[in-house]
Chains A and B, each alone.
Chain A
Amino acid sequence: MEQENYKIKAVNLLRSRICDPKFIFINESPESNHSKLKFMISSSVTEACNNSILLLGPRGSGKNAVLELVIQDLLQEYPDSISVMRLNGLLHSDDISAFKEIARQLCMEHQLLFSKAASFDDNSQFMVAMLKECGLAHKTIIFVLDEFDLFAQGKQRLLYSLLDAMQSITSQAVVLGISCRLDADQLLEKRVRSRFSHRKLLFLPPSIEDSQKLLMHMLTLPIDPSFPQDYAVEFNRKVQNIIEDRGFLETLNKYLNVDSSVKHLLRFLFCAVSRMELQTGFLSRENFEIAFSSIQRQPKLECLRNCSILELQILVCMKRLEVKEQNLCNFNSVMKEYKSTLTSERYARHVCLRAFEHLIHRELICFTDNRGQSLSVEFRPVKLLISSAELHQGLRANNSCPPKLLNLMDREG
């Protein structure tokens, strides 16, 4: 039982690290975004000036995590000089919600009573007044606008009010926009863009060497009394061997070629660590290979493998119509092709219609028109959502596909 305990603890430790963004992005080198961002905000705090910064990078590259680490550091250095307001474009992209949320967080931060019934004007004036008061008290308010591009849609009143209030000499504020759109500043209106300083920090995915270092950082156990010494040493040795294995590096390269962001890598690690054998208590290369195959999905091929013979027949008929350059087809024309092509074992029309509807539900085919109320299913135009190669592959992968159908497809292809 004791043995089970520390092995389970090892799995939990690794999984906790994978699910903790702060553990991943610790990087104190002077050239890192962590240091640059910390320097920018720290200068604004010490010099009592305003600033606005855009953090740009693809999803999963650590923009939010690095910012949280920087804010954590700054709150330790300047505990009484910083207030942090966090907004998210998914939640607060309309101005009413945004101003209300700022007022709520300001009231919580300064032990004031928040009124839910306050109007839009009350909240916006309150924000401007608080900026002045904090400026006079030499306190910096940091506004974090996650999903910044969503705030830039609409009238942009929040951005304008915020940046306009920062024009006054008494306020001290830093606006941090986080976005995965590289053209986020181009979305701003002229009056807002002119008030926004064009400082940008680019977050790029790590190189393959950095990814390997990250793997060691994530997957090795600490050599301390929380784990038996020989177990931890052996565990780390095995992890080192896996990471240096050529086959493993090929798999890792294949995986990262699709998406080299850190979060994409973490999904892979999560699947591998979840498959660790609790009997041995060690990671193996097989864990990573199985994780790779299970996380790389081909949904269309999976759908085709699941299709019944009748559904495959309908798809082949639609492909034949497509090859004949018939741009539009619907259930009626597919049935016409079905009757002329497949001479044996034909089913009733309503059975074919239900199979047709199953294909629509699986999203192997879709309607091409937007209006759906007046026309019944048989007359609505449809199109295939899979390519010839995918259909070929699917027919071969389907166990119950009759050879006749495969020949029919080969003849057309």
Chain B
Amino acid sequence: MGEDKTTQLPRRMTRSSASSSASTSNNVAAAKVTCLEPLTINDLLVGGDPISLNDIISSFPGRSSQILEVVRHLGPLNSPILPLFVYGSSSTGKTSIILQLFRHLNRPIVYSSCRTCYNQNILFESILNQLLLHRKNAANGYSNAKRCERPSDFVNFLREALTNVINNLKKSEKLISNEMTQGKIGNMIYLVFDNFQLVREWDKSSTILPLLFNLYDLLNMPEVGLIFISSTSPDTFYSNMGYVEPIPIYFPDYTEEDIRQILLRNQVNQKLYSSFLDVSLKSFCGITKQIDHLSAALKPLYEKYCEPLSDKGKGVAPNQEMKRRLLAHINPHIASSLNEIFKVSSLSSTEVEIRKEEKRKGNNRRLEQSEELGSLDFHVSTSAKYLLISAFLASRNPATLDASLFDSKGGSDNRKRKRKPSEKAQERKETLEQELLMKGPGTFPLERLLAIFQCLVSVAEEPSDEQEQNNDGLGVEGGNGGLMSDVLLQLSSLCNANFIFKGRSCPIEGSMRYRTTISEDLALKVARSLKFPLSKYLYRS
């Protein structure tokens, strides 16, 4: 008996992690231990040490009313429930609280996340694998317990598996009542569907959604409870045939005070961090209230807040004078941090440290300038850069201006227009800006792109008259050969990198049309790296 408990520990530890789905925990458990005992009915429990309701309530600040509401709806042992729909924004504790409550109540669940089970078949197989206590391993060739593609097969298998599990629960309840030592697990079993909002985007969502919402009526088994967890509200599940609505349980976003309580947990110096939140939390909550975003954004700011302190904020309780000093120190950085709140750094941690050193030395103006003049984050060939600039110009400029912009003089006609800004030109400029704002970059055929590209390359290389005459022929010779080679392959590489998009083919011309979505800033960076005068070719300038 002791050996069994020892063997099951790694699986329970893995299972208690709130963020992992049952399928993932199955794989992790299988990877950790070479040879595991066969699964039993106890593996449907969340596992872990017993936890009291008060512990759960104190673990989740601001959630006591929601926790009590879920407990009341789950009801006493062996009490049937109508389907529940738990919804709220991201990072509001829905999944964590549900799993911790089932750990507290010690009742069997079948947990499936519609993110890891990303289509109908995988969801069906995951549920049946758990109910049939099946673990995929090398012995069975990593196959599922049942193969079912049709909903009708799934419901038949599901009803059969649930009946077996419920009968086993009733038998084990009789045994347990004789022993009177362990806590009762009852004969109810709960199917939990997490990240349920993702089902709306599945291929067969118009049939799978009514099926899952009506699963309670289809099964007609009072011992089965259904719980849907979604980050969008019930009204976003559109259906033209209707279904009986589950009971809604709403998890509102955290208030600012709740967020303060949550962020204060696990902080070494509570008072210092509290004074830091006094000056920063309100500003950041104006942008977003999601805990994960706030936690990531405030962490580097807190480190900067603690810089003047000798011990980096480990043990000292701040007095009024120290608070004023720290406030003066951090104030200039709050505004810039606000605008960095959603950025995901692409630098490695080592480079981040180097950047920190550089930032300490330079002043604010240098920071702004260096960010503006920042080099490209990627490397492409010179030919691809010219091709990218050509695509940008082809998308942004109307085709009617090509003749004047891309002649052999290299855009000199543009200067004439600058001297005579007539009223019509001004109106056209505003109309074009509005159109660009609304419709975005236009599409262009391949021929136009290649023509612009050839013109830019010719201007860049300043070819002699002899080479120009050679270009009149079909073959490409001389110095232009370097940049012009493999231009179609470069184009397909840019398409694969999502710098250029290939659109639908035009039914009349029969050729592909392309579009580029790079921003003007990126185009300017590319042009600057080539020392190319991009602004001369932009119509707006």
Contact = CB atoms under 8 A, between A and B. Distances in A.
Q: Does A associate with B in a complex?
A: yes
Contact of A303 (B233, B339, B440): B233
A8 B150 CA distance: 41
Query: What DSSP secondary structure best describes chain A's contact surface?
Result: helix
B60 interface: no
A169 interface: no
A328 interface: yes
A267 B247 contact: yes
B285 interface: yes
A345 B282 CA distance: 13
Contacts of A16: 79-80, 222
B436 to A, nearest CB: 8
B82 interface: yes
A310 interface: yes
A15 B501 contact: no
Main secondary structure of the interface of B (DSSP, over half): loop
Contacts of B218: 88, 90-91
Contacts of B79: 11-12, 15-16
Given A12-B78, A373-B501, A60 B288 contact: no
Interface string B210-250: 11001001100010000000011111100001111101101
Contact of B244 (A60, A308, A311, A350): A60
B76 A310 contact: no
B285 A363 contact: no
A374 B439 CA distance: 12
A interface, how many residues as a size bin? 35 or more
Contact of B152 (A91, A308, A361, A373): A91
Contacts, number: 157
B339 A347 contact: yes
Contacts of B156: 104
A94 B517 CA distance: 44
Interface in A368-403: 373-376, 378-379, 381, 399-400
A38 interface: no
A324 interface: no
A299 B233 contact: yes
Interface string A295-328: 1010110110110111100000000000000001
A97 interface: yes
Contacts of A100: 152
A398 to B, nearest CB: 10
Interface stretch (A194-202, A221-229, A329-337): A329-337
Interface in B241-277: 241-245, 247-248, 250, 252-253, 255-256
B2 interface: no
A219 interface: no
A302 B247 contact: no
Contact of B232 (A92, A149, A309, A362): A362
Interface stretch (A26-34, A126-134, A270-278): A270-278
Contacts of B155: 91
Contacts of B255: 399
A19 B82 contact: yes
Interface in B52-77: 69, 72-73, 75-76
A12 B75 contact: yes
B214 A15 contact: no
A8 B72 CA distance: 12
A348 B336 CA distance: 9
A346 to B, nearest CB: 10
A220 interface: no
Contacts of B236: 299, 363
Nearest to B73: A274
A15 B81 contact: yes
A166 interface: no
B118 interface: no
Interface stretch (A47-55, A76-84, A242-250, A351-359): A351-359
B338 interface: yes
B437 A332 contact: yes
B222 A376 contact: no
Given A11-B79, A59-B244, A373-B501, A332 B438 contact: yes
Contact of A355 (B80, B243, B287): B287
Interface string A23-46: 000000000000000000000000
Interface in A81-118: 88, 90-92, 97, 100-101, 104
Interface in B147-189: 150-152, 155-156
Contacts of A361: 231-232
A303 B247 CA distance: 18
B342 interface: yes
Contacts of B285: 308-309, 400
B496 interface: no
A156 interface: no
B222 A20 contact: yes
A374 B501 contact: yes
B157 to A, nearest CB: 12
A168 B271 CA distance: 88
A18 B248 contact: no
A71 interface: no
Nearest to B87: A299
Contacts of A270: 73, 81-82, 247
A180 interface: yes
A351 B342 contact: yes
A376 B76 contact: no
A274 B437 contact: no
A263 interface: yes
B289 interface: yes
A321 to B, nearest CB: 11
B286 interface: yes
Interface in B430-484: 437-441
A348 B339 contact: yes
A175 interface: no
A294 interface: yes
A266 interface: yes
A351 B341 CA distance: 7
A295 B244 contact: no
Contacts of A376: 440, 517
B390 to A, nearest CB: 18
Contact of A15 (B75, B342, B440, B503): B75
A161 interface: no
18 contacts: A11-B75, A11-B79, A15-B79, A19-B222, A59-B243, A59-B244, A90-B210, A91-B155, A263-B244, A274-B73, A295-B247, A299-B234, A306-B289, A308-B286, A332-B440, A358-B288, A363-B232, A373-B501
Given A16-B222, A302-B250, 18 more contacts: A11-B79, A18-B82, A20-B222, A59-B242, A90-B210, A91-B211, A97-B152, A271-B247, A274-B72, A275-B72, A297-B250, A299-B234, A306-B89, A309-B286, A351-B287, A379-B441, A379-B517, A400-B285
The 6 closest A-B pairs by CB, nearest first: A379-B440, A299-B233, A348-B339, A306-B253, A309-B286, A91-B152
